[in-house]
Amino acid sequence: MCDQTFLAITFGPCDSCSENRPLMNLYIKTEPINYCSLCMEIMACQGLASGETLKSLKAESETLRKKLEEERKKLHDVELEKVAEKAEALGELNMKTRRTLKGHGNKVLCMDWCKDKRRIVSSSQDGKVIVWDAFTTNKEHAVTMPTTWVMACAYAPSGCAIACGGLDNKCSVYPLSLDKDENLAAKKKSVAMHTNYLSGCTFTNSDMQILTSSGDGTSALWDVESGQLLQSFHGHSADVLTLDLAPSETGNTFVSGGSDKKANVWDLRSGQNVQSFDTHDSDINCVKYYPSGDAFASASDDSTCRLFDLRADREVSIYSKDSIMFGAASVDFSLSGRLLFAGYNDYTINVWDVLKGTRVAILFGHENRVSSLRVSPDGTAFCSGSWDNTLRNKFLFTMTAYPGQRWANCAPPFGTPNHGQM
């Protein structure tokens, strides 16, 4: 009755020193290698020039890091809180669940919106991937994957296909056909192949290319048509758990976050790691770009969310509170970038004021971890998926205090009992 674990700690003869030790399983260029931890360290030292020892390398990287910190500090002349003092304070936010999508038999792990602002694709632990029309709460398509723990799913920009993957180490693309008699599973196309579980996937600006991140520590760009690997990105020293594409003009970068507590920014064309941020204290579960593309937010198991600025090359804000003790699993910005919605493992969603760094609201309603959270493409609502098998859409009655602005109606919505905050 136990969940699948796939890190089998094997004990046996090491490939290189042939002693019986606990082995670490590593894949190098898809070749499995079983080394004991000692030999692993030795292997990591390969590439040492003469005269260098592991100690000297360690010392050198430490000094470089310190120098980097100093450089970054030099240009840091003001804190975000100070700059944000000029901003208007946000009034109380009142959000209610408007739609609850039930139908998954098991934990919902991931979800994505379609560009038409009302359709959603969601994937769950039991291998089901469902496409909903969230507005009417109808299920439109359902696919059963031959694997459990489908941790990543994405909607194609055209709305004609979905991509998903998980423990099967692959990303598969399913074209959505409207013929109800057609078996969607038959038209599946396997696009990506990794050597460990798939943690995230997204289409780049068209249906033809997919960016994936995997538990094997790499991210990769694939061509859908041929299944070919176009570019791979190495640099994380542990599982890559999340990625997000930049909305910038040149559209050439993406950011990824991993179990090694680092968030790396990559160039799609060259495969280079352009920038790196490592101020988190634990695994980074989710990264999302600020709408202008100049910054990104990250959610981590250390129960904080942080905002990193790309041009200043540093962390500019931390969103945390003493009473929040559980890790954050997912974040997303509202359309204007003023609000940051974050879903946590303590079943709540906290809404933060990005500029002032304060918490604006806390939303209850899920009965288990909130595993994924996305704002709709036009910003009218956001949807949260949780391990309690449901997806909830939440929308807003604002009572903002902006001068000159009309007050939104505070009357209760049609047909729903008024529980106060849900």
- The answer to whether 117 and 378 have CB atoms below 8 angstroms apart is yes
Q: Which of residues 133, 187, 189, 302 is near another protein by CB under 8 A?
A: 133
- Among 153, 342, 355, 391, indicate the residue that binds another protein (CB under 8 A): 355
State the nearest-atom distance from the C-beta of 197 to another protein, in Å.
Answer: 6
Q: Binding to another protein by residue 22, rule CB under 8 A?
A: no
Q: CA-to-CA distance for 300 and 279, rounded, in angstroms? A: 11
Residue 374 CB, nearest approach to another protein (Å) = 13
15 interacts with another protein by CB under 8 A: no
> Residues with Cβ < 8 Å from 47, sequence gap 6 or more?
none
Site mask, another protein, residues 226-265, x = CB under 8 A? Answer: x-x-x----xxxxx-x-------xx--------xx-----
419 binds another protein (CB under 8 A): no
Token duo for residue 145: 């994957």
- Print the binding letters for residues 108-127 with another protein: x by CB under 8 A, - otherwise: ------xxxxxx--------
Q: Is 400 in the site for another protein (CB under 8 A)?
A: yes
- Backbone phi, then psi, for 53, in 5-degree steps? -120, 170
Strands (E), 40-179: 92-102, 108-113, 119-124, 128-133, 138-144, 152-155, 161-165, 170-175
Name the residue nearer to another protein (CB basis): 35 or 244: 35
User: In angstroms, what CA-CA distances link 120 with 71, 77, 213, 246, 383?
Assistant: 44, 43, 21, 21, 9
DSSP 8-state symbol, 95 = E
Closest separation between CB of residue 341 and another protein, Å? 9
292-321 residues near another protein, rule: CB under 8 A? 292, 294-295, 309, 311-314, 316, 321
Q: For 195, list phi and psi in degrees, rounded to 5.
A: -100, 10
Question: Which 149-168 residues touch another protein, going by CB under 8 A?
Answer: 149, 151, 158-160, 167
Q: Does 395 bind another protein (CB under 8 A)?
A: yes
Q: What are the residue ranges of helices labelled H in 239-337?
A: none
The pattern of x and - marking residues 168 through 207 that bind another protein according to CB under 8 A reads -------xxxx-x---------------xx------xxx-
Which ranges of 349-404 does DSSP label H, i.e. alpha helix?
none
- Nearest distance from C-beta of residue 103 to another protein, angstroms: 9
Contact, 99 vs 114, CB < 8 A? no
Q: Which residues 69-98 are close enough to bind another protein by CB under 8 A?
A: 71-72, 75-80, 83-84, 86-87, 90, 98
